[in-house]
């Protein structure tokens, strides 16, 4: 396993841990901003897993459009949460 592969997995784990921590806080104190942040970080975790799958597991298949879509959707979710809550 190369350093790049370890970094891909660490990025996915970090995003998943952040989503989990935000979700725990959301259950304790519900807030729409927390909910959209959970959705965003979960989407980033999916994006990071897709990066690993694309660049390490299925090297012959181009998944760049799918992983870019997942990352963009995650950022749109966070942006929507920030706009709808009036935080800027």
State percent of the chain over pLDDT 90.
84
pLDDT of 88 over the 80 cut? no
CA angle 47, 82, 12 (to 5 degrees): 20
Residue-wise pLDDT tens digits, 6-29: 999 999 999 999 999 999 999 999
**CB-based burial label for 43 (10 Å; 0-12, 13-18, 19+):** buried
Q: Which residue has the tokens 């799958």?
A: 53
Domain borders along the chain are 3-85
- pTM for the full model? 0.88
62-87 residue pLDDT tens: 999 999 999 999 999 999 999 988 76
- At residue 85, the pLDDT reads 83
For 30-41, how does the pLDDT look when each residue is reduced to its tens digit (9 = 90+)? 999 999 999 999
CA pair distance 69, 52, nearest whole angstrom: 15
Q: Cβ(56)–Cβ(8) under 8 Å?
A: yes
């Amino acid at each position: 396993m190369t350093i790049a592969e370890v970094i891909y997995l660490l990025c996915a784990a970090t995003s998943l841990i952040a989503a989990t921590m935000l979700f725990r806080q959301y259950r304790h104190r519900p807030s729409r901003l927390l909910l959209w942040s959970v959705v965003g970080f979960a989407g980033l975790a999916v994006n990071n897993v897709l990066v690993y799958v694309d660049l390490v597991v299925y090297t012959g298949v181009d998944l760049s459009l799918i992983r870019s879509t997942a990352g963009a959707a995650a950022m749109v979710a966070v942006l929507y949460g920030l706009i709808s809550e009036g935080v800027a």
